[in-house]
Amino acid sequence: MNLYAGKILIVNLTDKSISTEPLRKEWLKEYWGCWGLALRYYWDLVSPEVDPLLPENAIVIMTGPFCGTLVPLTSRFCLVSKSPQTGTVFETNTGGAFGPELKFAGYDGIIIKGRADSPTYLKIEDDQVSLENGEALSGKGIFETENYLKEAIGSSEAKTLAIGPAGENLIVYACVGTETYRQMGRGGAGALFGSKKLKGIVCRGTRGVRVADMPAFIERINHYKETNLLTEDNLWAKTDGTSFLMDDISNMGSHPTRNFTYGVNENIQAINLDAIKAAKLADRACVSCPMACGKFTSINGAEMEGPEYETLCLAGSNCEINDLEQVSRFNRLCDDLGLDTISCGNVVGLAMDLTEKGRRVFGLRFGEPKDYLKIVSEIATLSTQRGKDLAMGSKKLAEKYEAQDLTTEIKGLEFPAYEPRGNYGMGLSYATSERGACHMRAFTMYAEDPFDIEALAHLVVNGQNFSTIKWSMCFCDFWGTMKPEIMADLLTAGLGEEVKPEQLEDAGERIWNLTRLFNLKAGFGADDDNLPQKIMNQPLKKGPNAGKVFKKEDFEHAKAIYYKLRDWDERGVPSQKKLAELGLDSL
Amino acid sequence: MENRLYVIPELCTGCNRCAYVCSAVKEGEFRPSKSRIHISNFSFRGYSVPSICFQCSKPDCLEACPEEAIYKDENGAVLVDRKKCNGCGECVTACPYGMIEQDDEKLAFKCDYCGGDPACVKECEPGALVYPKAEKKVLKLRGVQMKQRIESGSPEEKRHQLGLNLLAKAREDDIR
């Protein structure tokens, strides 16, 4: 098959069976790859009411058509399942090199079912696939686990996925790590692995990915690389990496600081782009990416790739830890123990706020690094009462201590590093995302008017539809000038049959609506597409957006426009007409 | 002086585009395991080392070949005459850098500089691959790299060990 491996690996951990089946070709032109295709498989595998952490739930890992080719920024691959953090269906993806390796082994994706009796890892060497005893890895961090798995398969070129103690302990914001410093971070993928007693996956693939006409395919790739990718709009990734957003977003007044109290960090210079550059040792790339946005830093012996913007903000500014070394150490601990830094930064910020206000004493204070570093392992290993409390995530922590006025989460997923009171589009985007507060679905931070509700609602709908097809092609977000026309042209050259941009645009909307159908059946409705009290009632402080709130009536207005644009009724249910148009009426 | 390919590991980002394009050009598919260039990736330390054929002036592979199937062309590239190759694998054992291997039919294959226009160099965005001439400090790097002769192990193991040796030299400090 051109561009696809043509096979799915199916692993049942309960009865230890391993099988393969041919890729469902009839789904490709509607769902394409990664998110879309994984979701379509997942839809057939489980009931939406399934408990995410029970053996009945399944995990679908999927690559995309360009994964393992020279099309730049396409090494990403995704995981789709039901989130233990939100109870919604969710997609989480990462770069690195595991996705291409899986494809080189001959599989477009893996379906994981059931639950093992004891810690297990999955070993894939081309056709040789086995489940192995992972007892020796119990309680080990991701770094050590990845090394162990490479040694176990006997290849330094093998690629790995692993969870740390946080995943084993079913912490709802546990991540799956790969290539040391890269993660499927959001939504609790690590807890899903943990619930199945799957400690990791190691893969070595030695086969190839074929295309219809190699010289023609490479010619198209080079054309778009030179004329579109390596241009001014995208080169920040190469020269700066994500930390350039520190000053950018703070100057806009939408940079979450001190548990989402301020919109600017007045001490940002200690943890901004300049600080990263001063500590930088090397540029690092995912496989197939010429940009290399990863900045490997070393500061007083704290060595790591990153920290990235989200971590610098949420574990830095939001906890008022204006010290790059300490943020790096926090980041590294999260990466090793297997926690999502976005959620973890939020939860710690919330605990600091509660402590400062005297409402509950966690021994955590803004700007104080000692307990800030200690708490990470307490959360991951559930070794103290405060660790257990914070491990519940913001939503449940707030329920326990009546702190709903201080939290920033939607459907249980903590906020990313963009303040909705300073940009209403981000608020609408967070509220309507399939997996709770997520910035990777529609990103309106650079909208002309951050408070123009009508225009922003359009941007959010279009942004979500486009992100959905982009994530279904496994394109990285940082090819910011990517368009359906480019994807369609590259698919045409690779597959050897014509693909039209409209097919991809339709697919984006189809996939988004399918996530909606799943979540409706899982019990979610319009009332859940909501903002936290804090965003609607408490004015933001400091900076250009001081005094701003996203008032409930404004938000409801935005949501009504959004539903109308989507052809969803006031309960958030897609119309029969829309479903028929998208070919979803029979599902 | 002969045209040569040089490597600056400090600039390598680990993107593997060199290996992807190499396999696309040589094998007609994206198959980095059959590339003539390999990247040893040490993600933990943020360091990557491209393994290349140095086209040695006294090639171990050439000397080991019982069939005289390996020869040097006028540009200094060490080439395999696949019609003469008997698939014995002596060259693979002999190369201390792990840069000559056997294909699915057991025949030896290796880097040939793409006849003087290496595809990998054009693909290397960070400039870690240099061809055909280099400045003095890059020439020096070549000397250091060639000193890392790994006498045993599979080609993959030799490349990995070469990478580890260079990593140890580049980042002497321990991390805490």
Q: What is the 3-state secondary structure (H, E, C) of A389-417?
A: HHHCCHHHHHHHHCCCCCCCEECCEECCC
Average pLDDT over residues A330-344: 98
pLDDT in tens, A367-403: 999 999 999 999 999 999 999 999 999 999 999 999 9
DSSP states along B97-118: TS-EEE-TTS-EEE--GGGTS-
What burial class does residue B147 get, using C-beta atoms within 10 Å of its C-beta: 0-12 exposed, 13-18 middle, 19+ buried?
A: exposed
Q: B13, A292: Cβ pair inside 8 Å? A: yes
In this chain, the answer to whether the domains covering A262-414 and A420-581 adopt an identical fold is no
Residue A533 Cα, gap to closest chain B Cα (Å): 41
pLDDT value of position B75: 79
Is the full-model pTM beyond 0.90?
A: yes
Q: Search chain B and give the residue with CA nearest A280.
A: B46
CA-based nearest residue to B154, from B109, B106, B89? B89
- Are A423 and A447 spatial neighbours (Cβ–Cβ below 8 Å)? yes
- When CB atoms are compared, the residue of B14, B38, B174 closest to A285 is B14
pLDDT value of position A470: 97
Task: Show me where the domains of chain B are located.
Answer: 6-166
Q: A296, B46: Cβ pair inside 8 Å? A: yes
Coil, strand, or helix at residue A309?
A: helix
Within an 8 Å CB–CB cutoff, is residue B161 touching chain A? no
CATH number of A420-581: 1.10.599.10
Task: Show me where the domains of chain A are located.
Answer: 7-204, 262-414, 420-581
Angle made by CA atoms B28, B33, B35, in degrees to the nearest 5: 55
**Beta strand A7-12 pairing with A17-22:** antiparallel
Q: A208, B15: Cβ pair inside 8 Å? A: no
As a whole number of angstroms, the distance between CA A162 and CA A204 comes to: 15
Tell the CATH superfamily of the A7-204 domain.
Answer: Aldehyde ferredoxin oxidoreductase, N-terminal domain (3.60.9.10)
What residues in A contact B10, CB-CB < 8 Å?
282
Average pLDDT over residues A118-140: 98
Within an 8 Å CB–CB cutoff, is residue B116 touching chain A? no
Q: List Cα–Cα distances, A383 to A297, A388, A391, B40, in angstroms.
A: 30, 7, 11, 38
CATH 3.30.70.20 fits B6-166, yes or no: yes
Within an 8 Å CB–CB cutoff, is residue B125 touching chain A? yes
Whether complex ipTM tops 0.90: yes
What residues in B contact A287, CB-CB < 8 Å?
14-16
- When CB atoms are compared, the residue of A207, A284, A301 closest to B176 is A301
Segment (H or E) for A183:
strand A182-184
- Are A415 and A251 spatial neighbours (Cβ–Cβ below 8 Å)? no
pLDDT in tens, A354-372: 999 999 999 999 999 999 9
Within an 8 Å CB–CB cutoff, is residue B68 touching chain A? no
Average per-residue pLDDT for chain A: 98
A361: amino acid identity, one letter: V
pLDDT in tens, B81-111: 999 999 999 999 999 999 999 999 999 999 9
Q: Search chain B and give the residue with CA nearest A293.
A: B13
Q: A290, B34: Cβ pair inside 8 Å? A: no
> Is residue A215 reached through a cis peptide bond, with omega within 30 degrees of 0 on the bond before it?
no
What residues in A contact B34, CB-CB < 8 Å?
206, 208
Percent of chain A with pLDDT over 90: 99
Within an 8 Å CB–CB cutoff, is residue B13 touching chain A? yes
Q: Locate tokens 């230890």: which residue?
A: A16
Q: B43, A180: Cβ pair inside 8 Å? A: yes
What residues in B contact A307, CB-CB < 8 Å?
none
As a whole number of angstroms, the distance between CA A389 and CA A381 comes to: 12
Q: A208, B23: Cβ pair inside 8 Å? A: yes
Average pLDDT over residues B64-70: 98
**Beta strand A77-82 pairing with A159-162:** unpaired
Check whether B175 has a pLDDT greater than 60. Answer: no
Provide φ and ψ at B94, rounded to 5°: -75, -35
In the CATH hierarchy, which fold is given to the domain comprising A262-414?
1.10.569
Average pLDDT over residues A404-425: 98
The rounded Cα A587 to chain-centroid distance in angstroms is 27
Q: Search chain B and give the residue with CA nearest A75.
A: B15
Average pLDDT over residues A271-287: 98
- Are A175 and A190 spatial neighbours (Cβ–Cβ below 8 Å)? yes
Q: A288, B45: Cβ pair inside 8 Å? A: no
